[in-house]
Amino acid sequence: MRPLPAADPEIPDTRSATRFLLWLAGRITWPLTAAAVCGVLWLGSQALMPVVIRQAIDEGLVPGDMNAVLAWSGVLLAIGLVSSVSGTVRRRLNVYNALSAGFRTVQLVVGHANTLGAALERRLDEGELVSVGTSDMHTIGHAFDIVGRAVGALVSVVLVAAILLGQSPTLGAMLIVAVPAIVLTMGYTLRPLHRRQSAYRDLQGELTTRLTNVVAGLRVLRGVGGETSFARSYRERSQRVRDAGSRVAGAEAVIRGAQVLLPGLLVGAVTWIGAHAALNGSVTPGELVAFYAYAAFLVEPLGIFTETADRFARAHVAARRALAVLRLYPNSGPHPTPRPMAPFARELADETSGLTVTPGTFHVVVAPPAEGMRLADRLGGYTDAPVHYDGLPLSGLVPEEVRRRILVVDNRPRLLRGPLRASLDPHAAAADAVITTALRVAAAEDVVEALPDGLDTEITADGRRFSGGQRQRLVLARAVLADPDILILVDPTSAVDAHTEDVVARRLRTARAGRTTVLVSASPLLLDHAEQVSFLPHGRVAATGTHRDLLARHADYRLVIQREAGEIPEGDAVAEDPPATSLTPRGGDE
């Protein structure tokens, strides 16, 4: 067996959930086959035990031949050893199959999420992705865990039916009719369970998304006094999840009861028929004991059939969730003949808004927050909107080059767990002096100086030990260090004080001289340093010019800027950016 996880998860079949599950099975053909063989040995040997017991009774106990009893006892011991060894190996193989299918699913989803990059969170809720990587992984794995037992159950039922037909045609015929009827009845009871499971899975993903979002914004909630409102909302949603879980549990209780009742009725019927046959002398005492043993044995295969149907139905739902991620593309899909981008920055034009960004300018866009985010997504090539680079459709260019030349930094500053240096320079391509220069451009040198180990300081997940303004400046330093041809920033200084914002604006314009920089912001301090300003009050360019010109000749623009200026708190430098002197995690960091 290959080590887990697989070095190469390969390319999956994403045409349907069923094809995806079959594709996963094809990646572990030999372990699945070996598990099936062991399952046949495990349950098949148990199915032969009543035959051995019958022979021991009829040939040994009834005539009083102890040698025969000992001989058949030895056979029974050998069969028991085969069952024990094959069962152990089967269990080992089943665990491997479950882990292989689950790990491969996670590898595919995480790998595809990496290729989507920033487009992922625009197309899929975080909670949904977390659920795929946790509960759905185990659900798919559990389906492959039961394959060995299911094959063994099928073969053992056929074997028992053949033996009973030879001993009692009535009992054999009854078994042939009753087993499929029980399986079909159990399958029918699974239908409402799976509907309820699907609804529960949807609510669970939604609640997980809400929880991850609030954890990320916990400090903001506390700052505006929103804990009570969130707690009430979360309580209501969690109650909906609990109610859905209760409905699932109710359906499962009915199924579990049927799993005991229906095979129990079969056991009673076989025992009753066998007892009457023994009374009229048509069967021997050993055959009567064997009949009862067979009926009791059949409870396990029947339960396995039901569990198999249940697990694969759950896996089908989980596979659909995984495919919902695997079928996502940053745009409409890979372009058939992508073209390389022209070297150096070229004109960037967005047809939706009518915005044209001149190469090499420090350009600020004033737009409503939602419109500003949509504009940044379009300019970065994250949507199918008509955007042109040097006259060519952006969606038709090589995606890797688009990502390398055009960098979009939204207003949610993200840092990675580990050394701060690795978060600022993921490719380890910059010298300390270059990193220091980038930190100075972002006015973030004081943040690093306050850390005990400087750039080598270990930071927690998402850098939550830093304040909002500190994270913004560190992320801005990372963007400056990347040095793209076109840098698009959305509200890059919304969490810093006025003095720092002015310093950042001056240094950023100087550092980016000759390259294209687009800022989506209504901050007067940033606008004052802009070479060109575009005003998009309703998603379309209404005016273009310098900040001073627009203030003088455009009343709506002047109103927006005055409103923004009135919201800038005075003297917030101390409250916003206290120097970090300790590595004590804040806000629930790990």
Q: In the prediction, which pLDDT does 200 show?
A: 64
CB 58 within 8 A of CB 284: yes
Give the confidence band of 576 by pLDDT, cuts at 50, 70, 90. Answer: very low
Q: Which of 174-178, 318-322, 500-504, 572-576 has the lowest mean pLDDT?
A: 572-576
- Banded pLDDT at 275 (limits 50, 70, 90): confident
- Least confident interval from 10-14, 437-441, 559-563, 565-569: 565-569
- Helix and strand numbers (H, E) in the chain are 23, 12
In sequence order, which ranges of 414-546 are alpha helices (DSSP H)?
420-424, 432-441, 445-449, 468-482, 498-511, 524-527
Mean pLDDT check: name the lowest of 41-50, 57-66, 232-241, 313-322.
232-241
CA dist 423 and 474 (Å) reads 9
CA 552 to chain centre: 52
**Residues 81, 42: Cα–Cα separation, whole Å:** 10
CA–CA distance from 222 to each of 230, 466, 511, 574 (Å)?
Answer: 10, 16, 36, 19
- pLDDT for 445 equals 92
CB atoms within 10 A of CB 481: 20
Average pLDDT over residues 450-479: 87
Q: What is the overall mean pLDDT for the chain? A: 80
Higher pLDDT, 88 or 391: 88
> Which stretch of 289-303, 399-413, 462-476, 559-573 has the lowest confidence by average pLDDT?
559-573
Residue 277 Rama label (left phi>0; alpha psi -120 to 50; beta): alpha
Q: What is the mean pLDDT of residues 311-338?
A: 72
pLDDT above 50 (res 126)? yes
What Cα–Cα distance (Å) separates residue 119 from each residue in 213, 215, 373? 17, 21, 12
Give the tokens for residue 496: 């810093």
pLDDT > 90: percent of the chain: 28
User: Model confidence at 81, in pLDDT bands (50, 70, 90)?
Assistant: very high
Is the CB of residue 489 less than 8 Å from the CB of residue 479? yes
Rounded to whole angstroms, how far apart are CA atoms 568 and 534? 21
Q: How many C-alpha atoms does 344 have within 13 Å on its Cβ side?
A: 5
C-beta of residue 564 within 8 angstroms of C-beta of residue 527: no
Task: Give the pLDDT score at 501.
Answer: 92
Distance in angstroms (rounded) separating the CA atoms of residues 297 and 83: 14
| pLDDT for 61 | 79
Give yes or no for residue 437 having a pLDDT over 90: yes
Residue 340 has pLDDT above 80, yes or no: no
Residue whose entry in the numeric block shows the structure tokens 């372990």: 31
Say yes or no to pLDDT of 364 above 60.
Answer: yes
Position 567 pLDDT exceeds 50: no
> Residue 573: its pLDDT value, please?
40
Distances (CA, A) of 542 to 371, 472, 536: 14, 30, 6
Q: Which helix (H) or strand (E) holds 31?
A: helix 29-56
Q: In the chain, what percentage of residues exceed pLDDT 70? A: 80
Quote the pLDDT of residue 1. Answer: 67
**Using CA atoms, how far apart are residues 530 and 462, in angstroms rounded to an integer?**
31
Task: Write down the pLDDT at residue 32.
Answer: 92
Question: What are the chain's domains?
Answer: 17-326 (1.20.1560.10), 348-576 (3.40.50.300)
Amino acid 237: pLDDT:
75
Sheet holding 348-350, edge to edge: 355-357, 348-350, 387-389, 392-393
Bigger pLDDT: 550 vs 261: 550
In this prediction, residues 191-212 reach a mean pLDDT of: 62
Residue 382 in this model has a pLDDT that exceeds 90: no
| Predicted local confidence at residue 6, as pLDDT | 79
Q: What average pLDDT does this structure show over 572-583?
A: 35
pLDDT at position 310 over 50: yes
Residue 106 pLDDT greater than 70, yes or no: yes
Contact 356, 365 (CB under 8 A): no
Distance between CA 562 and CA 272 in Å, rounded?
Answer: 92
Longest CA–CA span in the chain (Å) reads 117
Q: Please tell me the pTM assigned to this model.
A: 0.59
Nearest to 362 by CA among 134, 532, 137, 125: 532
Q: Which residues fall within 8 angstroms of residue 13, CB to CB, at 6 or more apart? A: 19, 20, 22, 23
Min mean pLDDT across 168-172, 371-375, 536-540 is at: 168-172
Give the pLDDT of residue 109. 83
Q: HSE on the CB side for 540, CA within 13 Å?
A: 2
Residue 492 in this model has a pLDDT that exceeds 60: yes
Burial bucket for residue 488 (CB in 10 Å: 0-12, 13-18, 19+):
buried
Q: What is the pLDDT of residue 38?
A: 93
Report the C-alpha gap between 51 and 290 in whole angstroms.
Answer: 6
Q: Give the pLDDT of residue 341.
A: 54
